[in-house]
Amino acid sequence: MRAPTGSPLRARLPWLVVGLLCVAALVSFRIEVTLFSAANEATSLRGHQIVPAPKPHGGALQDASNSSEAQQQSGAARETEASVRSPEALAQKPPRPSYSYVLYVTSDTYACASLVLIDQLRNTLNSSREIDVTILHTSAVSPSYITKWRDSTSFGEGVHPVQVAPIRTNSGDPTWRNSLTKLRIFQHIGYDRVVFLDADSLPIRNLDHLFDLPVYLDEEVSDNDGAEATKNKVAPLFYAPKAYWLAQPFFASTVMVLTPNNATFDHLLAFLDERHQSNAAPSGGDFDMDVLNAYFHKSLAQPDSLSKGEPRAKLLSGMYVILNSDFRRPGTDKLDSLGGMTVNALRDSVQVVHYSCLPNGRYGKPWAISASELDQDDMKTVFHPFFRELYVRFRDGSKAWCN
């Protein structure tokens, strides 16, 4: 007797089950791949994002966001999210360790000066093209300058404009109202080490060696043991040159070497708020150099009394920042503020010049000088030739880059 046969549907049932299992496995695989890709993309974005401070900061400061004029004039420093780099920059995450020169620009005038500086840094002084240049700029800068920063083939790759909200003060000379925006260099933007340069300065010698300065004090933690430093909450070193024209200890904020860290930035803003609420800020205005010197004062004045978590600073040795006014004299003149060094010797050792003096001896910037002033007799016969040369370099650079 033949065994009874089942219905056609029952005969196909095992194959239908196998097919459904295959489809389910395929869908699961595609979902996992999609989630993996999304996670990787999010990680990449976080690596290059300027992270905003978590809370507003009041007092006499303004973090002027672009939302409205009323917000800009409210007198409260509101930390708003800064824009990230362009998608093109995000696609190319810099290798580790990653370094960048950083400038900040709050107007077209300083945007022009920054182009002169970058050209000097990259094309005249041959700074390594493996070291990026990042420009923290506000919305006040014209799109044409942003395009020049980003697209100039003369600078090569690795020049990144990053828009940020300005941090303003209500008091003091309006010229410096936006100077506290400089504090944003302490925010983490994807680099392990940065060297900051004021846009109205001019590097005279290659500065790449500054990235190799020790990150920590030798007696606390070795340079190669960042994990130990984190565990012991040791603050990384901050470097700046001596402001030799002022009473010491006091440093100039024209050149600074630091390890960006969002926690440090938040702590710096909290210090700033406390400074204003306690009326410790100068009545004539509280600007970037004043704030930073107050923040690191204990480290410079009483280094032996520091606890591990307190800010640490060291003065750069050598002629890292010189005011251009010190070249407004004959080469054989001796400079008391520099231990009797002659102007000729200073010319041979200067690393960076900060423009601060016009030919008439008054305070001023290089874009304020006229062609006729360059041809005055004093410029050619009395002052050190380098004083005039500095203005000629800026004039020629601005003609090439800013017209």
User: Which of 2-11, 71-80, 182-191, 223-232 is the most confident on average?
Assistant: 182-191
Q: Quick one: 332 and 293 in the same domain? A: no
Last residue of a domain, one of 253, 275, 308: 308
Is residue 10 one of the residues assigned to a domain?
no
Is residue 125 one of the residues assigned to a domain?
yes
Q: What is the DSSP letter of 59?
A: T
Q: Quick one: 244 and 344 in the same domain? A: no
Q: Quick one: 264 and 375 in the same domain? A: no
Is residue 50 one of the residues assigned to a domain?
no
Residue 268's closest CA among 397, 378, 180? 180
Q: Quick one: 271 and 383 in the same domain? A: no
Is residue 370 one of the residues assigned to a domain?
yes
Q: Quick one: 327 and 304 in the same domain? A: no
Last residue of a domain, one of 308, 331, 360: 308
Q: Quick one: 263 and 346 in the same domain? A: no
Number of continuous H segments (helices) and E segments (strands) in the chain: 13, 14
Is residue 385 one of the residues assigned to a domain?
yes
Question: What are the DSSP calls for 84-97, one per residue?
Answer: ---HHHHHSPPPSS
Residue span of the structural domain in which 264 resides:
61-308
The predicted-structure confidence for 287-342, as pLDDT tens digits, reads as follows 899 999 999 999 999 998 888 788 999 999 889 999 999 999 999 999 999 999 99
In this predicted structure, what is the pLDDT of residue 50? 38
Positive or negative, the Cα torsion across 186, 108, 254, 252? negative
In this predicted structure, what is the pLDDT of residue 33? 34
Is residue 276 one of the residues assigned to a domain?
yes
Distance of CA 215 to the CA centre of its chain: 17
The answer, yes or no, to whether the previous bond of 249 is cis (omega within 30 of 0) is yes
Q: Quick one: 123 and 257 in the same domain? A: yes
Q: d(Cα 296, Cα 267) in Å, to the nearest integer?
A: 12
Residue 172's Cβ-side half-sphere holds a number of Cα atoms within 13 Å equal to 19
Q: Quick one: 387 and 296 in the same domain? A: no
Is residue 74 one of the residues assigned to a domain?
yes
In the numeric block, which tokens belong to residue 400? 């090439």
The predicted-structure confidence for 219-271, as pLDDT tens digits, reads as follows 554 444 555 555 455 788 999 999 999 999 999 999 999 999 999 999 999 99
Total domains in the chain come to 2
Q: Quick one: 160 and 252 in the same domain? A: yes
Q: For the chain, report the end-to-end CA distance as a whole number of angstroms.
A: 103
Q: Quick one: 359 and 295 in the same domain? A: no
Between 15 and 326, residue with greater pLDDT:
326
Q: How far is CA 386 from CA 76, 140, 402, in A?
A: 44, 33, 23
Is residue 29 one of the residues assigned to a domain?
no
Q: Quick one: 122 and 225 in the same domain? A: yes
Q: What is the CATH number for 235?
A: 3.90.550.10
Q: Quick one: 184 and 229 in the same domain? A: yes
> Side chain identity at 339, as an amino acid letter?
G
Q: d(Cα 200, Cα 35) in Å, to the nearest integer?
A: 47
Q: What is the mean pLDDT of the chain?
A: 78
